[in-house]
Structure 1
């Protein structure tokens, strides 16, 4: 069963109490109830993966200004059937920022988030069950901007709130102190 690897990862993860814990429980229920949870054709929602990328000295985080949503986020995207969510997160970081050489800073899941994506053209509003991993960039690498973003920047950790102060983003900022 394709979902078993994700369910095992979720089982070994300890979310923050409160909001993340509820989203974590919702994600487990969603994955168990939907055999096709990795497919974007599941219109009520689907599993996505993203990478929280820190600089070599952990003082900066890589953020992209999302073209469609007009907000700053970490790179990430759809699994499109691939149940290896860590690999999907790595691939999305590479595709959206050009950064290829990454080291895992914490084995397993770094954060879990569920968020509503607004309706767009023929796609109804739906949920992303985002599985997040934390990476550290290795070596100096050039940043590339692709068609999904307006900009990609290294942002000092202490200034992330100026670009996006949502609880979803600030929770990942808080967790940096535990790495």
Structure 2
């Protein structure tokens, strides 16, 4: 029962391209198959929530330099059992950026992605089934760096490709909502 709201959101999501469509189907099957899909202890993978934070004029986005992965990404993280992934995205956005006033642009899913997380000391390689939401914040708020990040910054949308070659970041940057 706790998975049904996510399944409903997923079934209403309109993928941007064939690659996102394939990942959407993978996520739907994963969620249907694993009642503990929101739990980090599920070693093969788990559902995560992320935030694509845009400025009101849509010319900038917030990216974080992830400390463990040493790359630029959108804020996001583990659900830790919470099936409210919009809430997870908001929580992670606040924790990883320090932004206090973040507005939900839409409760609908903005993007989905399935990606591999490399093995680390106590964790085997696994998949993140990432559900992304479109959020908005003003650029005059200060950032607060967390232990999870090496940096946080607003990035002009036309300069994102200079920081990252991540396909999913570039896909989200291409979407216009």
Into which bin does the TM-score normalised by the smaller protein fall?
Answer: over 0.9
How many residues align? The count is: 177
Q: Which moved more, 1:132-141 or 1:160-169?
A: 132-141
* 1:16-74 deviation per Cα after TM superposition (whole angstroms, max 9, x unaligned): 23111100000000000000000000000000000000112211100000010000000
Q: Distance in 2 between matches of 1:17 and 1:56?
A: 26
CA RMSD after TM alignment: 1.0
Q: Which moved more, 1:102-111 or 1:60-69?
A: 102-111
Question: Which residue pairs with 2:171 in the alignment?
Answer: 171
Unaligned runs of 5+ in 1: none
TM-score by length of 1: 0.96
Q: For residue 3 of structure 2, what is the aligned residue in structure 1?
A: 3
**What SS does the corresponding residue of 2:48 show, helix, strand or coil?**
strand
Any conservation in 2 of the 1:43–1:124 contact (CA below 8 Å)? yes
Q: Aligned pair 1:44/2:44, yes or no?
A: yes
Q: How does 1:22-101 map to 2 (within 5 A)?
A: 22-101=22-101
- Distance, in Å, in 1 between the alignment partners of 2:167 and 2:116 is 14
| Structure 1 moving runs of 4+ over 4 Å | none
Matching of residue 140 in structure 1 with residue 140 in structure 2 = yes
- Retained in 2: the 8 A contact 1:101–1:139? no
Unaligned runs of 5+ in 2: none
